[in-house]
Structure 1
Amino acid sequence: MSTPLSGPEPASQAPGREPVGPRPSRSRAARDHAPITLTGLVGKVLLLGLTAGIAVWAAFPLIDGAMWAGLALLAASTAGLFYLYLTRRHIPAKYLVPGTLFLIAFQVVPVLYTASTAFTNFGDGHRGSKDEAIVAIQTSSVTQVPGSTEYALSIATTGDPATAPLVFLVTDPTTGEVSAGDAGGLRRLDAADVTVSAGGKVTAADGYTVLNVGQASARSEEITDLVVPTAGGALRSSGLSRAYEGKAVRAYDSGCDCIRDTVTGQSFTSDEEVGAFVAADGERLAQGWKVNVGLSNFTRVLTDRDISGPFLSTLVWNFAFAIGSTGGTFLLGMFIALVLHSPRMRGTNLYRVLLVLPYAMPSFAMLLAWRDMFNADFGLINNLFGLDVDWFGHSWTARFAVILVQLWLGYPYMFLVATGALQAIPPELTEATSVDGASPWQSFRAVTLPLLLVALSPLLISSFAYNFNNFNAIYLTTEGAPFPADNPTNGATDLLITYTYRLAFGGQGAEFGFAAAISLFIFAIVAVVSTVSFRRTRKQEEVYS
């Protein structure tokens, strides 16, 4: 009886043999029908519900401001998130999308907003629109004129008497009606909701906290500055118990697009380039509006002699501070790590705990402590070593002091990362150099240091970028001092970030547009240095890989 011809037995059926070829993968249908746990379902419902709530909350301001493009983007984003997390597809995107959204919200958007602000005059006196500036000019020029109506006044708030916004409670002397007024205008109160004394002063009102004399006196400056617009002018206080309805002496004339002062006859014409009303003699009203100023903020840094000279000298010191702080902490931390890495050392764990103590302390508290230790009169440094040095009174001693403080605060971090990198270097490499007759220094220079730099170069670059903008290190120790007699805005220890802070938020008021422009300069400098450093690091990795 013959045996029928057949092919070789399939590998999957051959006894004692493993299947040949690719392993069977889990089908898409199986994945799509995988069971959903209760915890996963509850978490998904809560997160998607939170997403929907945030979307609804954000939609109302967009609708109110007629920002239809933003509303459409919000709706599309919300719908995309619901689609992504309600389906079983696009598994990688489920993990990448949250991080991407946070990156856009907290990194990309602030950078773009800063860049857009750098091309404007945004700052004190230039925060709103032209219409808002006109209203502010007219209300701030309100003065009492003969025949102005006077009201009994009570000062109140809708919250904390010390911090909540102020409200004027006034009683009309002719009708006895009580009104509440703030910067938004007057609104009449129901007589049943207020208690009025015989003199017409409000002593209590539903929803308001009436301030006593002491509480009102503590906020007298705010009371004086508060202007309540009315149909015939505006209300201003006259002391703490009386208010008057005055007239605006400056009014806007749409025919000439100017502000006219009815008392002096002076006229202030609108200047759209600077966003302010300017008189013929160059006098400018304090209230202006936000406009695009092009590259003027950037050219001001380079062409204004009062700014460009100090800016360049500060830039040189900024590089010296960042390089000195980063290089000093790296060398000290690496040296200590090498010492404790030696097998002949005993008690290394105790030493390591003691050496990282500066890293465990709050840096702002340590900076303040070091500032006191460098005090010329009662500081620990002078008293301990018998010195008489005014550390913060001279340029070079102040610079040496701040770098020394950074050395003490920063070496523990470099010590920790160098310790980890040393432990990752195979001991066979250094042993091979010893067999070849190399000295310990030659072995360190040829093997250990290059391998350390390959591992730590990204950390050194990030440390340089951090120290380049280390605001706290300067502001909490020297505040930029010492200052030359002819330039109180630029000190010997100022970094670009502290110099910018003083220029932008100094005595002349906040200049957010100018500050944003200098921030972009700083960003460009750090970005160029980091890019060049990373390229050199990549070449170094290729050599030692």
Structure 2
Amino acid sequence: MTATKLGGPVTRARPVPERPEPRTRTTGLLVKIVLLGLTVAIAVWAAFPLIGGGHWAGLAVLAATTAGLLWLYVTPRHIPLKYLAPGTILLILFQVFPVLYTASTAFTNFGDGHRGSKQDAVVAIQTASVKQVPGSPQYALTVATTGDPATGPLILLVTDPATRRVSAGDADGLKPLDDVTVGSTGRVTAAGGYTVLTAGQAARRSAEIIALAVPTPGGAIRSSGLSRAYEGRAGRVYDQGCDCIRDTTTGRIWTADDDVGAFVAADGERLTQGWKVGVGLGNFARVLTEPAVAGPFLRTLVWNFAFAAGSTGGTFALGLLVAMALHSPRVRGRTAYRVLLVLPYAMPSFAMLLVWRDMFNTDFGLVNNLFGAHVDWFGGSASARFAVILVQLWLGYPYMFLVATGALQAIPRELAEAARIDGAGAWAGFRRITLPLLMVALTPLLISSFAFNFNNFNAIHLTTEGAPFPADNPATGATDLLITYTYRLAFGGGGAQYGFAAAISIFIFLLVAVVSAASFRRTRHLEEVHS
């Protein structure tokens, strides 16, 4: 700026703002157009499934979000919001929405046998009871798919021998086909939009073909070999008048119970196939009150806290001890020692967990061979728990060593020297000066480490898989954490219980949240004391 005096007050020339080069403005405009075009394209792509499924609320949210983004980035206003919007949307999609979906699932009976609607359950029950009876219609069968011949969804192309009409059937039902070529035997040789499987390809998927049933009004169409199909009659049919399933052979009746989402007989027997319903707080109450669940759950919870605290505290103590030992300038070769000590942290954890599992093997494991012992490490509760904590100690201490080394280097050496001048010994100086200053910096890291170990799925699943299991409860093992117990409930071989597993996930979330909140309050207190 320059100042001039023309017989009056001094005036200062205002700086002229620099304008961006035309080429730069053009490039920015093109980038904006491309990004907004991609946004619209993604929104259009996502709209079709929502329309097909009748999810009108989701479609409205999608349309409103897309319109808001277009308005935000076309107008020159609201500059801060332009930077916040992408992160906020990703936060909602990948954090908030999964949490809300999990919470909503926790209030339902969603799981194996209770996945769809009541109508889906009726169709499944009737289809599963189909039997071939005298006079059942017969069809020429061709097996096709809409994807890869080895893995794509199977489609049954059936030809009516009387009319030569061809229909395509899957688990959703039949639909007529026009663009087909039919051979002299009545089997389809080509069909528009479908890949006809050869005899060899169909033979390799024979089990899937036999299991596939195409529902029809009176029963279902099933394969009889790889070239013929029949339309059988359902042995169990739905009676809308009594809202029940009736067995046409025995006359037994299962009445619909909308509270449990299943068809229930008078003696309490339930049909396997049910439907999804809300159960309120039933899953949460089951965790706390059902004896077969509450006892193992509480034992697992206590061990979960012990594992997280032991893993976090043990790795911190060992890492800090090593960091203090190598912090002294009198130690020679500190760089080489630090490189060697960090090696466990540089290895892939999943591979190291599998290696440690083999090292604890009773017969040929390195641990037993090294000490000349024959300990069944994973056969007893105490030994298995000790083993997994020892593995965590080896895997986790390098991280604590690194962060403790960095925190120690940030503490002025003058403080330790002043303490020695005042007569404080090494232990007193560490306890009263070094450790409190370290805790101010490291407490947030310890909190995150505790939360990680509280849900450390790999540490248990890859070493013990939750074992050992008591004879009376094969679902909950001695080394199971709540996360591995939840995984077994949701994806175990005994049948998935997604609603119940979601309820336990909510418990885990609340427990970690409470512990973290209390720890952060303690951190603020330390900061106030040492500020």
Give the TM-score category using the shorter length: over 0.9
CA apart distance, 1:341: 1.6
Residue of structure 2 equivalent to 1:147: 135
Residue of structure 1 equivalent to 2:155: 167
Secondary structure, counterpart of 2:103 in structure 1: helix
Cα distance in 2, alignment partners of residues 380 and 390 from structure 1: 13
Q: Per-residue CA shift, 1:449-475, capped at 9, x if unaligned?
A: 111111010010010011001111001
Residue of structure 1 equivalent to 2:37: 49
1:134 to 100, 122, 127: 122
Equivalent residues of 2:356, 2:391 under 8 A apart? yes
CA apart distance, 1:174: 2.9
Residue of structure 2 equivalent to 1:525: 511
CA apart distance, 1:66: 4.6
- Single out whichever of 87-96 and 401-410 deviates more from structure 2: 87-96
Residue of structure 1 equivalent to 2:72: 84
User: What is the TM-score normalised by the length of structure 1?
Assistant: 0.90
1:62-461 alignment, distance < 5 Å: 62-190=50-178, 193-194=180-181, 196=183, 199-202=185-188, 205=191, 207-461=193-447
Distance 1:173 1:43, change over 3 A: same
Q: Per-residue CA shift, 1:491-524, capped at 9, x if unaligned?
A: 1111111122223333431111111111111111
Equivalent residues of 1:126, 1:289 under 8 A apart? yes
Cα distance in 1, alignment partners of residues 188 and 52 from structure 2: 36
Cα distance in 1, alignment partners of residues 497 and 275 from structure 2: 13
2:453 equivalent to 1:467 = yes
Equivalent residues of 1:32, 1:88 under 8 A apart? no
CA apart distance, 1:177: 3.8
% identical equivalent positions: 73
- Single out whichever of 495-504 and 258-267 deviates more from structure 2: 495-504
Letter in 2 for 1:267: I
- Single out whichever of 135-144 and 178-187 deviates more from structure 2: 178-187
Secondary structure, counterpart of 2:496 in structure 1: coil
Q: Per-residue CA shift, 1:182-207, capped at 9, x if unaligned?
A: 2233344447x4353x5444455554
Equivalent residues of 2:489, 2:495 under 8 A apart? no
Cα distance in 1, alignment partners of residues 98 and 19 from structure 2: 39
Cα distance in 2, alignment partners of residues 377 and 513 from structure 1: 41
Q: Per-residue CA shift, 1:69-105, capped at 9, x if unaligned?
A: 4333333322222222223322222222211111111
Secondary structure, counterpart of 2:31 in structure 1: helix
Q: Per-residue CA shift, 1:350-374, capped at 9, x if unaligned?
A: 2222222211211111111111111
- Single out whichever of 289-298 and 97-106 deviates more from structure 2: 97-106
Equivalent residues of 1:373, 1:381 under 8 A apart? yes
Distance 1:67 1:34, change over 3 A: farther
Cα distance in 2, alignment partners of residues 154 and 514 from structure 1: 42
Equivalent residues of 1:194, 1:206 under 8 A apart? no
Equivalent residues of 2:362, 2:376 under 8 A apart? yes
Equivalent residues of 2:129, 2:234 under 8 A apart? yes
Equivalent residues of 1:276, 1:288 under 8 A apart? yes
CA apart distance, 1:249: 2.1
Equivalent residues of 1:176, 1:200 under 8 A apart? yes
CA apart distance, 1:280: 0.9
Letter in 2 for 1:493: T
Cα distance in 1, alignment partners of residues 15 and 408 from structure 2: 44
Letter in 2 for 1:470: N
Letter in 1 for 2:63: A
**Alignment length (residue pairs):** 525
2:48 equivalent to 1:60 = yes
Cα distance in 1, alignment partners of residues 68 and 15 from structure 2: 27
Secondary structure, counterpart of 1:391 in structure 2: coil
Equivalent residues of 2:117, 2:276 under 8 A apart? yes
2:482 equivalent to 1:481 = no
Q: CA RMSD in A?
A: 2.5
Secondary structure, counterpart of 1:293 in structure 2: coil
Letter in 1 for 2:88: T
Residue of structure 2 equivalent to 1:7: none
Cα distance in 2, alignment partners of residues 341 and 432 from structure 1: 18
Cα distance in 2, alignment partners of residues 252 and 437 from structure 1: 89
